[in-house]
Amino acid sequence: MGCRSFREPVVVWLDPKHPEFGIRCIETVTDGLAALHRYDLGSARHGPSCRFWNEAAGALVRARAEPTADNIDRAHLAFERLVAEVAPVPPAIRRRVTPRSLLGLLTA
């Protein structure tokens, strides 16, 4: 892990409307920035969740420019909030479709 890695990955559903399509683990600031425009997160930029998208984008950009532990933690938290707001998946579905090796990373 590099200096811009999150302490824990953020698990993003590739398509929240079809959780069986799988998941992606976002482990770095760079991955987080790329994910802002993928996995149904990009649509949040102009929708009712735009505040979460803007907060995540700003925090991730700061963490990329100044990769301090505090900035990376703030970026991680902001990105997690965006994912929780835009792409929530019911716990029963999450447990059914998540590989066993990742179940410990997800909260019910």
Task: Quick: pLDDT tens for 30-73.
Answer: 999 998 888 777 778 888 889 999 999 999 999 999 999 999 99
Q: Supply φ then ψ for residue 74, to 5 degrees.
A: -65, -40
C-beta separation of 41 from 86 below 8 A: yes
- Please give the pLDDT value at position 23: 77
CB 32 within 8 A of CB 26: yes
Q: Is the pLDDT of residue 1 over 60?
A: no
Backbone angles phi, psi at 5, to 5 degrees: -85, 145
d(CA 59, CA 7): 15
Domain limits, the chain: 5-100
Q: With 0.85 as the threshold, say if the pTM is over it.
A: no
When the pLDDT of each residue in the chain is averaged and rounded to a whole number, the result is: 81
**Residues 86, 54 contacting (CB under 8 angstroms):** no
